[in-house]
Structure 1
C-alpha cells in the first residue's frame, strides 16, 4: 500500500504548487483511513513504515545539509533562525496548556511549527510517548497554516515593502514545510536564500529532539519510586539518551559537510528522502481519524498562535538585519 501511495504523492506534489510529497501522503493516508480502506492485516506493515522507514528518511535528510553552506548565511541570519525557532518551541507548550491541550499535542505542534513541519513532528513523535492521535492534530496544523502562508506571506511582504534579501530570510525562518518555502521562494525570486535558511532550521531538529527526549526521560526517572523499574522497561535495557536515528542524522550532516560525497550521490539523495518521508507519513496518515480531527478547534487555535509567534518574531528579527 505504501509503495503505491508514494508515486501518487510525488505526482500530486509535482502538479500542485506548494504541496510537498509528505503533505500529499498524509492527506492520502487520511482519506483512505476515513473510507475504511485500511484493514487490520495492513497495520503491522504500516507501523513498520511509520517508524523504521521514517528513521531512515531522517538520517538521509542530514545528507542534504552542508554546515559550511549554512554558516555562509552569516551570523545575523542564523541569529534570526535561532531566536524565532527557540522562542516558538519554548512558548508554544505553555500556550497549549492554557488551552487545555495535552502535553504531547503541545510539544508536537511546537516541534512542527518551529522546525520543519510534518517530518519534524513524526521524528519527535517517534522519540517520545505521544500518541498517533496527537501527531495527527499537529500535522493538520502545519499543513493548514503552512499552505496558507504560500498566499499570505508574499502579500504581507509586498505590503511591508520587504526587500528580496530580507524576504528570503523571513520565508525560510517562518514557513513550516520545505516544499512551502520553495513555493514562496520560487514565486518571489528568493529561492536559494529561503531554502538555505530553512535548512538551517532543519539542523536544529537533532539537538531539539535529543534534549527533549533526555529531559522527559529524566522527569520520568524522578517520578518513578525508588527501587521500581520504569514502566515497560522490565527485561529491557534503557534506550539511548540520544535516539540512534538522531545520531545518524548528525553523522550524515558531518559526512555531507566534508564535501567528499560524489555529485551523483548528493543529487539523488533529495528524491530518495522525499520518497521515504512520503511512505512514512502516508503510514502515519492511515491512523488519523478525520472525524476527531474536525473537532480539534483548540489544536487549530494553538497552531494559529504558534504560527503567528514564529512569523512575528522572525519578521521582527529580520527587520533588524543590516
Structure 2
C-alpha cells in the first residue's frame, strides 16, 4: 500500500514538473516561438505523460498546461483574458484535445494491459496443463510399479526364490528413485519461481562429487559415462547441493534421451577463477531450431521418446544462474549435444586449506 501511494505521488510530481519545465523553456524562448507553436509543444508533453501515467495525474497535467498556456502565452499575457474569438476557440479546442488525449491514452493502456493479462493467464493455464499431463504420467508410472510389486511380494512371497525377490525389490528401488526425482524437480522449480534460492557456499571436491553422481546414475541402458578426472583440480567454494542437481540433471537427461551404447563425457576444469563443466555425448543431438528452447519450462524436443516433465534442464539453468554462472547448449560438429557451464568460484588446494 505504501508503495502504491508513493508511486501515485511520484506521478503527480513528475507530471506537474514536466509541464512547468517545458513551459519555462518555452517562455524563455517566447521571442522565437509563436504561442500557437507553444500549444503544440505542451500538447506533446501531455501526450507523453499520458503514455506512462495514470488518468488523474495526466488530467491535472493537462489542466495545468491549459492554464499556463493561457496565462503566459496567449495575448494579453499574465492574465486569463482572451481578447479575440479565434484565440478563445483555440484555447477551448486545446483544453478539449488535451483532456481527450489523456483519457484515450489511458483507455488504450487499459485495453493493452487486459490483453497482456489475458495472454499471461492463457500461457499459465497452458503451462500448468502441460505440467499436469506430464506429471500425471510420470508420477503414476512409478507409483503403479511400487504398488504392483509390493502386492506381488505379499501375495507370492513364499513361492518366490531369492533371485525373483531381488528383481522385484530392485524394481521398487528404481521406481522409488524415479518418483523421488520427479518430486525433487517440482520442489526445485517451486524454489526457483519463488526466488528464495540462497546459495550456501562451502569448499567442495568436484572430483568426489562427480564420481558419487555417476554411481547414482542408472546405466542399465548400457550408456557409458566417462569422467576425465584431474589431480590438479582445486577445491571450489560453491553450493554443493546446487552443483549436485546441475550435474545429475544433465547426465540423467543425456541417458534418458540418447540411444543405447551412447558415450557421455564429463569434464571439469579450472579456468580464470571459474569452474568449467563440459558434458557432451555422441548421440543424435537436437534440431538447431529447437536449441534455444531446451531450457524453457516443460519444453520437450519434438519426436522425443515419452517420459520426462520438461523441468530438468530449466532447473539446471536456474541453479547455474543462482550461482552467477552461465550455461550454453550446442550440437557437436561430429554429432551429439554439448553443455558448457561456467561458474565463478573461489578456489583453493587441500594443502593450502590445511595450512590455514
Q: TM-score range by the shorter chain?
A: under 0.3
Q: Which has the higher contact order (CA 8 A, sep 6+)?
A: 1
What is the TM-score with the length of structure 1 in the denominator?
A: 0.23
What is the TM-score with the length of structure 2 in the denominator?
A: 0.21
| More helix as a share of residues | 1
| More strand as a share of residues | 2
